[in-house]
């Protein structure tokens, strides 16, 4: 069995912008586990434990899905606390595209491959503890005007190996638009 998800690893040319946002969050009065720079990604579907014999079939399914789309221009937008502003467990960046192709692709993935599909997002950190909620919310609101353009030109099947110092991600299949 292999722990897998479907996503899009953030290209090197955009990582510094995302890391600078994470660095800004480090100044807030909270304790977090930040996503490592090499693991920054836009999520499509968490598949969980998958039989290794299904990997090739899943790659073919992804190839078939991307045939129906072209590269997707997107915008990474402001910070979003999950599940809500009153109870913050995760801080993400919203990812939007003009024609909602990312959501559509997520729905196709759920239908054809399963998994836990959420609206497209980029996780920055998992919150352990908040020491001053008002200051944290003010810090989050500073990113309301954030807008970063990105083009999604591939979908990746990614293996996630859990380790004590954080997960290690490895692309095991890539489907290019």
What is the set of active-site residues?
A: 41, 121
* 13 close to 116: Cβ distance less than 8 angstroms: no
Residue 155's nearest CA partner among 117, 129, 99 is: 117
How crowded is residue 126: how many other Cβ atoms within 10 Å of its Cβ?
13
23 φ, ψ to 5°? Answer: -60, -35
SS3 45: strand
| Secondary element (H or E) of residue 22 | helix 12-25
Residue 42's nearest CA partner among 115, 106, 128, 108 is: 106
Q: Compute the distance between CA of residue 125 and CA of residue 97 in angstroms, rounded to an integer.
A: 23
């Amino acid at each position: 069995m292999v722990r897998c998800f479907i996503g899009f690893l953030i290209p090197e040319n955009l990582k510094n912008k995302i890391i600078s946002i994470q660095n800004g969050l480090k100044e807030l009065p909270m304790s977090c586990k930040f996503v490592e720079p090499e693991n920054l990604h836009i999520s499509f579907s968490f598949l969980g434990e998958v039989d290794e014999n299904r990997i090739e079939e899943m790659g073919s399914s992804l190839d078939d899905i991307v045939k129906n789309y072209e590269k997707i221009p997107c915008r990474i937008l402001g910070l979003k606390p999950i599940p809500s502003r009153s109870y913050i467990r995760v801080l993400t960046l919203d990812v939007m595209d003009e024609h909602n192709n990312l959501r559509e692709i997520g729905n196709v993935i759920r239908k054809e491959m399963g998994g836990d599909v959420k609206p497209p997002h980029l996780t920055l950190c998992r919150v352990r503890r908040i020491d001053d909620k008002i200051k944290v919310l003010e810090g989050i609101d500073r990113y309301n005007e954030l807008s970063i353009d990105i083009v999604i030109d591939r979908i990746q099947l990614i293996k996630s190996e859990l380790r004590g110092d954080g997960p290690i991600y490895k692309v095991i299949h890539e489907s290019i638009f």
